Amino acid sequence: MSDPNQDNIKEIDSVVIRFAGDSGDGMQLTGTQFTNTAAVFGNDISTMPDFPAEIRAPAGTLAGVSGLQVNLSDRDILTPGDAPQVLVAMNPAALKTSLPDLEEGGVIIVNTDAFTPANLKKAGYESNPLEDDTLKNYDVIKVPLTTVNREALKDIEGLSTKEKDRSQNFFALGIVFWMFERPLDTTLEWIDKKFGSKPAVAEANRRALQAGYNMGDTLRTFQQRFRVRPASLPPGTYRKVTGNEATAMGLVTAAKKMGKTLFYGTYPITPASDILHALAGLRNFDVRTFQAEDEIAAMGSVLGAAFGGAFAVTGTSGPGIALKSEAMGLGIMLELPMVIINVQRGGPSTGQPTKTEQSDLLQVMYGRNGESPIIVVAPRSPSDAFHMVYEAARLAVRAMSPAVMLSDGFLANSSEPWLIPNPDDIPEIPVEHPAPRDNGHGPFLPYKRDPETLARPWAIPGTKGLEHRLGGLAKAPDTGNVSYDPDDNIAMYEARKGKIARLADVIPEQDVFGPESGDLLVVSWGSTYGAVRSAVAKAQEAGYSVAHAHVRYINPLPRNFEKLLGQYKEVIVPEINGGQLAFILRGLFAMDIHSFAKMAARPFKISEVTNKIEEILG
């Protein structure tokens, strides 16, 4: 397609686009297609979906708005972007929910056909925002999408008008492809694959996409086109990956590297279920998924599988982690290796199932009866979940202990490019099971500890001569026999605590972005990494003496952590919770630590963190 209008193309280094519409409008799909095309083109990308908790909220209402935000850039980006510069709004409700986020002067593409009195009312608009001055500060592109799409598809036979209207999203996508100078190939190929067996539907989508593109190309409705050049990422083969996908692949990898069967016992819960879906399709890897009758059963099955010698894992979210806590305590008492993935969501109670929070940190650290230390790690981005779940596995096996990976709804569903590793380069995870033996060797001692790691032996049923009983009652060292003796109790408590603490020897030291000492250290963990790192980088550019430490190993903390905190005049911890890591750090190190808590069940914006840094440093 020739473009005589080259002058209108503006080179920009990054752009944030949000696709928003009714949950039935296919906006997740539209955004995903755009993202895939941008990724294949070589932009760095970061996405954030935002969908309603209700599967089908009433059409046209604010509750039913589903959106996907994409940030594409010609350089390394870390977040899906603070404020979109381009908004595609398929109806008044989508416009209303997204407008507050939109950057002033941004571009809005609206489907004017959807701005009917009924839809305006459902969205709570008293007058039509397209006609009053609501949008006076924006560049509004009005497209009668329904009408023009029907026109483009009018001679396709075998589809009802309603079915044809379903491809409106592809018309809109075509317009955006034109705006951002993107080829249609990836999406056309996808349409062929997806609708291969339904030629009329495939044709409708193809034609809608093409017609949208042509509309931009020929009518020149738009003031501006944009060009975002490919990013210069490290060489290699890339794919797009979400946190949940990366977690599933990391689990399969860890299982292979242990030489073990992966057992994944879980109960469906948003937003963790996608891990189950991904793993259930991998039976050829000998992945044994088990959909239990409830959260407690899922955790119980993991204990049984771990006893049996599998790499045993569960995934949960929200109230699920509370239900699992008793059985997690038993896991700590039995001293068996297992991984618990908690994809945190908004709480308390049922809270906000599709929104994100970091508010289960204290629950997993301390939310069990008795003194029950557990390993806790947290990935910092979608692709980092691949690495951190592998780390959780490695540490769990080494210490013979449950390990928790704290993911969250934001990074679970967000995506970013992932430099695909060579599986041969990923180290094996050493696993030892004591060998069978004949009678006459004295009793087997299931709690005889390795002097270096303090881990007990992982003897599995089916091994001759190692028959032994484990249980949740207090026990004596070595034999594991039930014991309420005070000295035994102290010894076993110290051992359970000590073996977790000793893992600090085999995790990396805490790294710091910025000066090794100075005015301010920003400490963060989990999915806030992108926003915090970008904000600290900006503050450094502005001349502030500020550094960033992003914690991925929370229990135990890296061995240099306490010393590190002492190198700065002030320490602040931004978190999507009420200040939980700050609370822990104050308790551990008796230091004055600022908390910057955000309880909106939404990720940080870069600007929020930047402002806070400036506020502290003046």
Partner 1 sequence: MSTNNIPLELKLNRKDFVSDQTVRWCPGCGDYAILAQVQKVLPTIGVPKENIVFISGIGCSSRFPYYMNTYGIHSIHGRAPTLATGLAITNPDLSVWVVTGDGDGLSIGGNHFIHAIRRNVDLNILLFNNRIYGLTKGQYSPTSPRGKVTKSSPMGSLDNPINPISLALAADATFVARALDADTKHLGEAFYEASQHKGTSLVEIYQNCVIFNPTEWESISDRRNRAETLLYLKHGEPMIFGKNRDKGVMLDGFNPIVVELGSGITEDDLLVHDETSKELAFILSSMSFPEFPVPVGVIRRVVRPTYTEGLLQQIKEAQDIKGPGDLYTLYTSADLWTISEHDEPQTAQSGELSQDVNEQYVDDLEQEPVETTFIQDLMVENTLADLKPKPPITVDADTSLEKAIRQMNTHNIGCLLITDDKDRLIGIFTERDVLMRVTGLVDDLAAADVGDYMTADPVALTADLPIAQALHEMSVHGFRHLPLVDSEYHPEGIISFRDVINHMKASFTDN
Interaction with partner 1 in 170-199: which residues (CB under 8 A)?
Answer: 185-186, 189, 193, 196-197, 199
User: Counting contacts by CB under 8 A, is residue 390 touching partner 1?
Assistant: no
Indicate the residue type of 21. G
Query: What type of residue is 208?
Result: A
482 binds partner 1 (CB under 8 A): yes
CB of 263 to partner 1, least distance (A): 6
Rule CB under 8 A: say whether 457 interacts with partner 1.
Answer: no
* One of 473, 490, 506, 599 touching partner 1 (CB under 8 A): 473
Tell me if 573 sits within 8 A of 523, measured CB to CB.
yes
Only segment of 112-120, 168-176, 307-315, 596-604 that touches partner 1 (CB under 8 A):
307-315
Whichever of 333 and 547 has its CB closer to partner 1, that residue is 333
Q: Please give the Cα distance from 161 to 557 (Å, whole number).
A: 60
Nearer to partner 1, 148 or 202 (CB): 202
Binding window for partner 1 (CB under 8 A); candidates: 34-42, 117-125, 375-383, 590-598: 34-42
- Among 16, 39, 179, 208, indicate the residue that binds partner 1 (CB under 8 A): 39
Site for partner 1 contains 160 (CB under 8 A): no
Q: Give the footprint of partner 1 on residues 114-153 (CB under 8 A).
A: none
Please state the closest distance from residue 410 (CB atom) to partner 1, in A.
21
471 touches partner 1 by CB under 8 A: yes
Q: Are 41 and 206 in contact (CB under 8 A)?
A: no
- Structure token digits, residue 64: 């039913």
**Quick one: which of 27, 204, 275, 312 contacts partner 1 (CB under 8 A)?**
312
DSSP-based three-state secondary structure for 88: strand
Q: How far is the CB of 443 from partner 1 (least distance, A)?
A: 7
The count of residues interacting with partner 1 (CB under 8 A) is 85
Task: For partner 1, give the closer residue by CB, 89 or 287.
Answer: 287
**Residue 385 near residue 247, CB atoms below 8 Å:** yes
Report helix, strand or coil for 432: coil
Interface positions, 233-262, toward partner 1 (CB under 8 A): 233-241, 249, 252-253, 256, 261
Gap between the terminal Cα atoms of the chain:
53
Candidates 124, 259, 472, 566: give the one binding partner 1 (CB under 8 A).
472
Kindly state whether residue 29 participates in binding partner 1, applying the rule CB under 8 A.
Answer: no
Window 426-455: contact mask with partner 1 (x via CB under 8 A): ----------x------x------------
Residues 411-430 contacting partner 1, CB under 8 A: 420-423
- Tell me how far, at minimum, the Cβ of 35 lies from partner 1, in Å: 10
* DSSP per residue, 286-327: TEEEEE-SSHHHHHHHHHHHHHTTSEEEEEE-THHHHHTHHH
Select 121 or 283, whichever has its Cβ closest to partner 1.
283
| 466 lies in the binding site for partner 1 (CB under 8 A) | yes
Positions 284 through 303 that interact with partner 1 (CB under 8 A): 284-288, 290, 292-294, 296-303
Structure tokens at 156: 């396709």
Give least dist CB 186 to partner 1, A. 7
Tell me how far apart the alpha carbons of residues 412 and 243 are, in angstroms, rounded to a whole number. Answer: 4
The one among 24, 42, 434, 515 contacting partner 1 by CB under 8 A: 42
**Residues whose CB falls within 8 Å of the CB of residue 461, separated by 6 or more in sequence, listed in order:** 307, 308, 309
What does the DSSP assignment read for 489-545? HHHHHHHHHHHHHGGGGGSPPPP-BS-SSEEEEEEEEGGGHHHHHHHHHHHHHTT--
**Closest separation between CB of residue 446 and partner 1, Å?**
10
Task: Please report whether residue 369 would count as binding partner 1 according to CB under 8 A.
Answer: no
The alpha carbon of 184 is separated from its chain's Cα centroid by a whole number of angstroms, namely 28
> Could you tell me if 96 and 90 are in contact, meaning their C-beta atoms sit under 8 angstroms apart?
no
Question: Residue 141 or 252: which CB sits closer to partner 1?
Answer: 252
Least Cα distance to 407 among 317, 344, 355, 340 occurs for: 344
Going from the C-alpha of 418 to that of each of 45, 56, 91, 239, the distances in angstroms are: 10, 32, 34, 5
Minimum distance of partner 1 from residue 536's CB (angstroms): 27
Nearer to partner 1, 196 or 348 (CB): 196
Pick between residue 41 and residue 170 the one whose CB is nearest to partner 1.
Answer: 41
Closer residue to partner 1 in complex, CB, 98/383: 383
DSSP reduced 3-state for 222 = coil
Closer residue to partner 1 (CB): 442 or 543:
442
- Could you say which of 34, 177, 180, 307 contacts partner 1 (CB under 8 A)? 307
Give the x-and-dash track for 333-362 against partner 1 (CB under 8 A). Answer: -x----------------------------
- Four-CA torsion 231, 417, 357, 86, nearest 10 degrees: 50
DSSP string, 34-71: HHHHHHHHT-EEEEEEE--SSTTPPTTSGGGEEEEEEE
User: What is the identity of the amino acid at 224?
Assistant: Q
332's tokens? 């700590």
Q: How far is the CB of 415 from partner 1 (least distance, A)?
A: 10
What number of CA atoms fall less than 13 Å from residue 292's CA on the CB side? 22
Smallest distance, Å, CB 413 to partner 1?
16
- Binding range to partner 1, per CB under 8 A, among 117-125, 151-159, 306-314, 561-569: 306-314
Please give the torsion angle defined by the CA atoms of residues 186, 188, 190 and 195, in that order, rounded to the nearest 10 degrees. 180
Phi, psi of 291 (to 5 degrees): -90, 105
Site for partner 1 in 391-410 (CB under 8 A): none
Q: Give the shortest CB-428-to-partner 1 separation in angstroms.
A: 13
Told to check if 304 binds partner 1 by CB under 8 A, we report yes
Q: Which residues contact 117 (CB under 8 A, 6 or more apart)?
A: none
Q: Which of 465, 498, 515, 578 binds partner 1 (CB under 8 A)?
A: 465
Write the secondary structure of 558-591 as one string of H (helix), E (strand) and C (coil): CCCHHHHHCCEEEEEEEECCCCHHHHHHHHHHCC
Q: For residues 142 and 239, which CB has a smaller minimum distance to partner 1 in the complex? A: 239
User: Where in 557-616 is the site for partner 1 (CB under 8 A)?
Assistant: none
Indicate which single residue of 34, 41, 267, 561 sits in contact with partner 1 (rule: CB under 8 A): 41
Taking CB under 8 A as the rule, does residue 462 contact partner 1?
yes
